[in-house]
Amino acid sequence: MKTLRIIPLGGLGEIGKNCTVLEYGENILVIDAGLMFPEDDMLGVDFVIPDFRYLLEHKERIRGIILTHGHEDHIGALPYLLKEISAPVYATPLTRGLVEGKLRSHGLLHQATLYTIVPGQEVKLGPFSIVPFHVNHSIPDSVGLAIRTPLGLIVHTGDFKIDHTPIEGKTTDLGALARLANEGVIILLADSTNAESPGYTASESELIEAFQRVFAKAQGRIIVATFASLLSRIQLVIETAAQFGRRVAIAGRSMEDNIRIAEELGYIHFPPNTRIPLGQISKLPDDQICVLATGSQGEPTAALARMASGKFRHLKIKEGDTVVLSSKAIPGNETQIYRNIDNLFRQGANVVYGEQAGLHVSGHAAQEELKLMLNLLRPLYFVPLHGAYRMLQTHARLAYELGFPKEDVFVLDNGDCLELNTQGARRGESVPVQNVFVDGSLVGDVGDTILRDRMALSRDGFVIARVTLEPKTGQLRETPEIISHGFIYVPESGDILQSAESAIVDIVERYSAQDCDTEELSKQIKQRLEELFYDETRRRPVIIPLVSTTT
């Protein structure tokens, strides 16, 4: 009796590294391969990718990788996966365009096999027959997937909302969903990112008036910061600017790249005479300028942070500027976002931000939309996907409210497995997964030990105690040398470092009578200095004793 297995390899998190595995017999279908930005305690880490070990162990089974849309948390880890395996990749035109840019910069484009998919057209991959359907999300060309398997129909929503008046024109394909419902859905996997939000997510169109109010009021330059991938928002800003006689410049490389790709593919359109290079804005009157900028999450190297700190070459913030943050804080980014806002205010800008401003709507379905999806499809089993654990649980509770029995709803942790056969669905054996950290050019070498070391160093720095002994007598050859970094302000710490020296002299003197076991001596010095520094400062620097004999 054949079994279908569903394993989310990533996906858990405020914004997770989404990657879901469907396996039937010797056939694996991979849905998305995203990255996650590091949490507070992942010190020095650039980003986190899913643990692909299970896929690498079963390379030969992978029939294809299908991408639901072009956001980093769905495509960002693809280069790391394609470095190890050579499966074909399936994506809608815009997603494909963004992936190509990404693979090119990793030097992987020539060896990748990419196929374009479009809503309504079937893709056959081994036992899986996949038909994408259009969904609304904060990037065009997003799809959900109807996946027909030998055990029945599985629906994966991708990231979605139900926007009846989207800027990009097409609504989530409710007709397709209704047809799928009539066919009978065994398992629904659905986006949980906004499961904590009651009601409906507002339409992107509701922003038209809000932006017009801002543009009508602003006397000076307008700078709009938003996500580089939020192309419908970018289009809205371009159109509003054109309407108010402003020309549009782009600040920030990721936004430039995305807009270039989207423009080539027809997803972004500049009215004639609207675009202007950033370097030329100083030639125009302030009230004819609109700048689209990266950095709405407070990223310290993005355009907006550099403007806020006065370090952006092309644009110095001044009295009269209006800065709009058309975005929402991803939890964990609040401090850096607010710091930018404070600094922009300090330089005289009028900053328009936050929920009250009404200049952002989410790209994810809120509770009533999630209920609609559940009630429309009425699957036999339900797996809340994409989101932090509390969001999955909240999504599950919505299903219970709609009458889904608890035993038919599966809240899966990363690596957990749902098994389906003709008898029904149940939890299967988990696959071991961990966070795989990308730090600099190395992937996966940073683990708990290094993070623990970095955490200790970040708190109290380190102290090297360098001790040289006479080989014959075991006595000190010279005064012990103490070197510290990040521990204490040395010019004013005379006493404490002096005491450390004396303590070492003490230990060595008591020790020199015996055999010169430098390892044991090092241990004693380390222990004594730990005690001494903690007593004197209540700090716990990392202590590195370096004992050598001059044999």
Catalytic residues: 191, 364
For residue 148, which of 122, 130, 175, 121 has the smallest C-alpha distance?
130
Burial class from Cβ neighbours inside 10 Å (0-12, 13-18, 19+) for residue 329 reads middle
Sheet strands side by side (includes 462-469): 481-485, 462-469, 542-549
DSSP string, 346-398: HTT-EEE-HHHHT----SS--HHHHHHHHHHH--SEEEEESB-HHHHHHHHHH
CB of 48 closer than 8 Å to CB of 414: no
Shortest Å, Cβ 331 to its own copies: 4
* Residue 250 tokens, joined: 């782009």
CA distance 367 to 201: 9
Q: Which is nearer to its own copies, 468 or 499 (CB)?
A: 468
Closer residue to its own copies (CB): 268 or 351: 351
Q: Using CA atoms, how far apart are residues 155 and 146, in angstroms rounded to an integer? A: 5
Q: How far is the CB of 515 from its own copies (least distance, A)?
A: 21
For residue 304, the minimal CB distance to its own copies (Å) is 14
In whole angstroms, what is the distance from residue 51 CA to residue 219 CA?
51
Indicate the residue type of 405: P
Helices (H) and strands (E) in the chain, counts: 16, 25
**Closest residue by Cα to residue 122 from 161, 66, 61, 168:** 66
Residue 280 or 550: the one with the smaller Cβ distance to its own copies is 550
Tell me if 189 sits within 8 A of 353, measured CB to CB: no
Identify which of residues 279 and 447 has a Cβ nearer to its own copies in the complex: 447
Q: How far is the CB of 186 from its own copies (least distance, A)?
A: 26
Q: Which residues bind its own copies (CB under 8 A)?
A: 14, 39-40, 43-44, 196, 198, 331-332, 334-336, 338, 341-343, 345-346, 351, 353-354, 356, 388-390, 393, 439-442, 445-447, 449-450, 453-462, 464, 466, 468, 483, 485-489, 492-493, 536-539, 542, 544, 546, 548, 550
Rounded CA separation 155/296 (Å): 33
CB of 110 to its own copies, least distance (A): 23
Of the two residues 372 and 456, which places its CB atom closer to its own copies in the complex?
456
Of the two residues 423 and 551, which places its CB atom closer to its own copies in the complex? 551
In angstroms, give the least distance from the CB of 40 to its own copies.
Answer: 5
Instruction: Name the DSSP class of 275.
Output: B
Determine phi and psi for 543, rounding to 5 degrees.
-105, 130
What separation in angstroms does the CA of 60 have from each of 54, 84, 461? 12, 12, 47
Least gap, CB of 519 to its own copies (angstroms): 14
Nearer to its own copies, 52 or 437 (CB): 437
